[in-house]
Amino acid sequence: MNGFLKLNSATTSQDGTTSLSISFVDCTVDPANDKDVDYTPTSSATVPVRPGAQVQIVQLDNNLQTVAADWLVDHQVVSTPYFYYQDDAQHQITALQEIYHP
Distance CA(24)–CA(58), nearest Å, equals 20
Please report the pLDDT score of residue 1 as a whole number.
67
Model confidence, pTM: 0.88
**Between the CA of residue 7 and those of 30, 31, 32, what are the distances in Å?**
23, 25, 27
Taking the domains of the chain in order of start, what are their residue ranges? 2-98
Mean pLDDT by 10 residues, the chain (102 residues): 92 94 94 90 96 93 93 89 94 94 69
